[in-house]
Structure 1
């Protein structure tokens, strides 16, 4: 269906006296504007899902990763273990 619109647009511009170069320029500009509009619409459409994914990851990390003190204790244990095994 879109190709019929493009052909009709092309023919109407030619019939109203616009040169072939003007028609091609109009088609290129229309294509670029439609492409950018489509990208913008896609971002708007996907935005709630992207926000939901960010919130999901934030909740997962908030409830499954250890707190700062537990991370510090874990790091200290690793360092002690490396020192016992004389890693230097």
Structure 2
């Protein structure tokens, strides 16, 4: 929500200071590109931050399945 308010405030300030509409649209285009880059970067950083917990969960499930195996019977 804060990012949206920043973009709206940025647009309003450009219009108040007398920047032309072409300049405003160029600035908004740059903001959209920057937002997409920050979104992708944030997703990558979040994945790296969560990776140890995901590996821990996989290890716990693997150990649980290993301990829950039934012994093999000899059917002769």
Q: TM-score, normalised by structure 1?
A: 0.57
**C-alpha RMSD of the superposition:** 2.9
Alignment of 1:9-88 (within 5 A): 19-67=23-71, 70=72
Higher relative contact order (CA 8 A, sep 6+): 2
Q: How far apart are 1:63 and its partner, in Å?
A: 1.0
Instruction: Decide whether aligned partners of structure 1 residues 12 and 41 sit closer, same or farther in structure 2, where only a CA change above 3 A counts.
Output: farther
Number of residue equivalences: 71
Structure 2: which 5+ runs fail to align? none
More helix by share: 1
Q: Quick one: structure 1 residues 9 and 38, their matched pair in 2 at CA, closer, same or farther if it must change by over 3 Å?
A: same
Task: Return the index of the structure with the highest Cα Rg.
Answer: 1
Where has structure 1 moved over 4 Å in runs of 4 or more? 1-18
